[in-house]
């Protein structure tokens, strides 16, 4: 890895050295507006997140639950474009120095051009890409472009993934492995479940990459639970919901996001491994 992907590795390693999991926040670009989204991503990092994922809004988000779908719809109706996503990455990274990844379905990148997207994401200071629907078998073009530009390629594993499949996915990925804690779409949940811990254990048996868990964490207690067995805790829907709850009140939304990041950061430190 080179470029910002190295910084991603350093941040994950530094959290491990502190005896805790890293806190990874997610928000879609263009929500509630492009400028508002940049401010919100910055607030996540100021509040206590170590890393941020900037979502590229998609009209058919197969992995995302209703909360993120609502935010994506607002962003798309607002006219968000890939240029706005890249601007969000650029300005968030410039303001904080933290690793910023882009989370996107493959189709927009394929249409835009893998080489062009990788080039522009790297130029924006991006650390890499999370591609939840790109099969490893079809990923060579992207992975070559990403490696050339110093970007990490993060793949998603799920509880349904068999051990041999996990090995294939983790061998192709870089940066970290995104472990979806439960089958189904994103969203906050009452419990993150034991499936997540088993998935982390099985994934670690195939790779030295950090394993970060997402899908379902919404409060400090859940963050502490996941932090006890994972290298990173990924939170998205809970942050989006805070902004939705403060529609029409940008300052209140930013304060709510910053506050939640602080609570979650306390959680991952409470139950360091």
Rounded Cα distance between 156 and 172, Å, is 11
Q: Is residue 17 part of a domain?
A: yes
Answer whether residue 272 is part of any domain.
Answer: no
In a domain, 46, yes or no: yes
Total domains in the chain come to: 1
Q: pTM score, two decimals? A: 0.93
Q: Which residue has the higher pLDDT, 153 or 65?
A: 153
> Is 53 noted as a catalytic residue in this protein?
yes
Q: Which of 7, 35, 60, 64 is catalytic?
A: 64
Task: Please indicate, yes or no, if residue 72 is contained in any of the structural domains.
Answer: yes
- Single out the residue of 92, 71, 73 nearest to residue 238, CA to CA: 71
Q: Reply yes or no on whether the pLDDT at 273 is more than 90.
A: no
Catalytic residue (choose from 7, 17, 46, 53): 53
Asked if the structure places residue 54 within a domain, the reply is: yes
User: Which domain CATH number covers 103?
Assistant: 3.20.20.70
Residue identified by tokens 């670009």 is 29
Nearest CA-CA partner of 100 in 122, 67, 131: 122
| Least trusted range by pLDDT, from 138-147, 168-177, 264-273 | 264-273
What residues does 103 pair with on adjacent strands? Answer: 55, 130
Domain that includes residue 184, residue range:
4-267
64 catalytic residue (yes or no): yes
CA distance 141 to 114: 7
The answer to whether residue 273 sits within a structural domain is no
Residue 229 maps to a domain: yes
131: in domain: yes
Residues 164-198 have pLDDT tens digits of: 999 999 999 999 999 987 644 444 444 556 788 99
Q: Check residue 21 and give its pLDDT.
A: 97
């Amino acid at each position: 890895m080179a470029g910002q992907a190295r910084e991603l590795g350093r941040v994950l390693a530094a959290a491990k050295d502190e005896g805790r999991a890293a806190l990874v926040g997610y928000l879609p670009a263009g929500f509630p507006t492009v400028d508002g989204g940049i401010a919100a991503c910055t607030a996540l990092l100021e509040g206590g997140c170590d890393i941020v994922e900037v979502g590229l809004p998609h009209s058919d988000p197969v992995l995302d639950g209703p909360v993120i779908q609502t935010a994506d719809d607002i962003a798309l109706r607002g006219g968000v474009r890939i240029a706005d996503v890249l601007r969000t990455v650029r300005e968030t990274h410039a303001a904080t120095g933290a690793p910023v990844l882009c989370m996107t379905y493959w189709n927009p990148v394929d249409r835009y051009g893998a080489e062009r997207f990788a080039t522009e994401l790297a130029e924006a200071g991006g650390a890499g890409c999370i591609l939840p629907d790109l099969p490893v078998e079809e990923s060579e073009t992207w992975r070559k472009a990403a490696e050339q530009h110093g970007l990490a390629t993060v793949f998603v594993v799920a509880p349904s993934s068999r051990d041999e499949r996990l090995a294939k996915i983790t061998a192709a990925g870089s940066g970290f492995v995104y472990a979806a804690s439960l089958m189904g779409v994103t969203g906050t949940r009452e419990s993150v479940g034991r499936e997540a811990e088993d998935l982390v254990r099985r994934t670690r048996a195939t790779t030295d990459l950090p394993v970060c868990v997402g899908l379902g964490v919404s409060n400090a207690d859940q963050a502490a639970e996941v932090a006890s067995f994972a290298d990173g805790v990924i939170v998205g829907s809970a942050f989006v919901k805070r902004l939705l709850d403060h529609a029409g009140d940008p300052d209140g939304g930013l304060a709510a996001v910053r506050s939640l990041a602080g609570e979650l950061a306390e959680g991952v430190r409470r139950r360091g491994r």
